[in-house]
Every structure is written in C-alpha cells, then in structure tokens.
Amino acid sequence: MTGTEEAYQSRGKEEMMRIIMVAICLALASGCAGMERKGTDMAVHDRLPGYLSPERLPDSTALIPPPPAPGSMGFALDEEVKRSVLPLRDTPIWDMAAHDSDLSMQSVANGFSCALKIVLTKQETPTLFRLLERTLSDVKSAVSIAKKKFGRPRPFVAGNERTCTPEYERRMRNSGSYPSAHTAAGWAWALILSELAPERGDEALARGISLGDSRIVCNVHWVSDVNEARNVAAAVVARLHSDPAFRADLELARAELAESRAKGVPPAGPCSKPYRLNPVSR
C-alpha cells in the first residue's frame, strides 16, 4: 500500500469515527453537553438540572420592569455608571472582572472559599458544590425568560467598544443583556452561603456583589441589568426554600460546611479583596 493510499484510508477512518460520534450524540442528546467547549460564557457550561421545574420557576418578566428606555432617567444612570468605570480599564480591577466572567463551578467556588475561609471543592464539600451547581441551572432558567423577552443590546454593542473578554464578544452580541445571568448566579450563591455560614455572611455577600459589579466593569452589562438581576436571584432563592429536595440538601450542606471549617484547612488562594463600585451604581 502506497503512502497516499494509507493517508486516504486513515482519513476515511477519522471520518467514520466522526460520524459515529455524531450518531451517539443524537441518540444520547442529554449526554452531549459535556462535549461542548467550556468557557467563560455560562451558556456553554454542562450543568446539572435545577431543583425547580419550569412551571415552578419565578416569572422574571413579572418581577422586573422593562429595561430603561433611551432618554429615560434610568438609561441616563446606566450611561453615567458606564462612563464612571472607564478609568478602570486595563487596571487590576479590569483583570479581576475578566476573571469573574468565568462561571465554571470551581472558579466561582474559589472566590467564595476565600470569603468563607474554607476549602470549597467538589471533593471536600460535594453536597454544597452540587447544591450550588443545581442552583445555577435554576437561576439561568429564570433569567432567560426575561432575556428572551426584552433582548436588550449589551453596552459594548451599543457603543461599539471592547470588553474585558474579547474572545466571547461574538457570542454575547446575540445574547440579551437584561438582566445579567452572571450577577443573578453570584447573588443567589451569596444569599445561600450567607445563610449557611452567617458568621461569614458579610464576606459572602460582598463577594456576590463584586461578581455583579465586575459585569459593569467588563462593559458587558448596564447597571440596571445588574440591579434587577439581584431581584430575580432573590426570588429564585425564596422559591427554592419551598422545595423539599433543596431544603434537604441545604441541611446536609450546612453540616458539611461545619465539618470542613472544623478541619481548619485554609483556602488554596490567592485571595483578593472584593471591590465595590462607586455608590452611584448601587
């Protein structure tokens, strides 16, 4: 067999394997999410199913108003806050905002590990890790309802500007800005963790706030996107407390957290102090 024939045969085998994999994915669609590229956009993460069925999710369009219209006082505030964070570009806070865009579970857990002063990992605290991951699915589903209805352009699209994550700008151009899913997830986790560890509640809440503020710094969300996302997150957490499975996991996670803290193992770090934007953004 010549080298050319071997090359064609090898190429044919590769093509056959590709076809087989596609067929498997079509047959087992629910298992194919993990084959997608994972990145900072939460839409591409392989997530566990949430606790709440679609009919039990809060209706985010009933909880928050439409986004501020151009020319309104609300939109003037959006633009003013956007201008106020311009000096933060290409600073350590800009870099932190880029890091905060990563909603992979361990990345987020590392930030909250610092806030709680524990080791928060899938291995060390599996129940809590799973609870937060399932909560992410509930939050994203609730936020998506409003995102699809309002379809608000993101600030970097409206101003034809750059963001702290240029590699994801193309995807975000077609993703609604209002409300912010990253913010909602961070605030929901902060609320849950502050309940589980009230002695570190302020630190957990501060971390949750900074996750939302990072979206403004990054130029991918308006301040109204962030503020209303926290309202959606609070509604999701309140609804979760009516779910028996969530409450059961919450109690297991509470015990797990106490056990982890008793070991006295510090977070892996490095731990950076959460920052707060100017009060005008609150």
Q: What is the pLDDT of residues 30-47, one digit of tens each?
A: 333 332 333 444 444 467
CA distance linking residue 148 with residue 57, whole number of Å: 15
Q: Quote the pLDDT of residue 38.
A: 38
- Which ranges of the chain have pLDDT less than 70? 1-46, 269, 278-282
Q: Quote the pLDDT of residue 282.
A: 45
Match 């870099």 to its residue by tokens.
Answer: 95
CA distance linking residue 107 with residue 74, whole number of Å: 33
Q: Residue 11 corresponds to which tokens in the numbers above?
A: 């190429």
Catalytic residue among 134, 221, 230, 249: 221
Q: For residue 45, indicate whether it is catalytic.
A: no
CA distance linking residue 240 with residue 56, whole number of Å: 9
Q: With contact defined as beta carbons under 8 Å apart, do 222 and 78 qualify? A: yes
Q: Quote the pLDDT of residue 273.
A: 74
Q: Quote the pLDDT of residue 34.
A: 31
Q: Quote the pLDDT of residue 194.
A: 97
Burial of 220 (0-12, 13-18, 19+ CB in 10 A): buried
Catalytic residue among 41, 100, 213, 225: 225
Q: For residue 215, indicate whether it is catalytic.
A: yes
Q: With contact defined as beta carbons under 8 Å apart, do 210 and 196 qualify? A: no
CA distance linking residue 132 with residue 190, whole number of Å: 10
CA 92, 94, 97, 98 dihedral sign is negative
CA distance linking residue 268 with residue 273, whole number of Å: 15
Catalytic residue among 182, 200, 207, 230: 182
DSSP character string of 31-80: G-GGGSPP-SSGGGS-----SS-GGGS--HHHHSPPPPPTTSHHHHHHHH
CA distance linking residue 246 with residue 145, whole number of Å: 22
Q: Residue 60 corresponds to which tokens in the numbers above?
A: 């985010």
Q: Quote the pLDDT of residue 261.
A: 86
Q: Quote the pLDDT of residue 278.
A: 61
Radius of gyration of the chain (CA): 21
Catalytic residue among 134, 200, 207, 215: 215
Q: Quote the pLDDT of residue 145.
A: 96
Q: In the chain, helix, strand, coil percent, each to 5?
A: 70, 0, 30
Q: What is the pLDDT of residues 115-163, one digit of tens each?
A: 999 889 999 999 999 999 999 999 999 999 999 999 999 999 998 999 9
Burial of 61 (0-12, 13-18, 19+ CB in 10 A): middle
Q: For residue 99, indicate whether it is catalytic.
A: no
Total H helices, total E strands in the chain: 12, 0
Q: With contact defined as beta carbons under 8 Å apart, do 31 and 124 qualify? A: no
CA distance linking residue 123 with residue 253, whole number of Å: 13
Q: Quote the pLDDT of residue 265.
A: 80
Q: Quote the pLDDT of residue 46.
A: 62
Q: For residue 83, indicate whether it is catalytic.
A: no
Q: Residue 68 corresponds to which tokens in the numbers above?
A: 């501020």
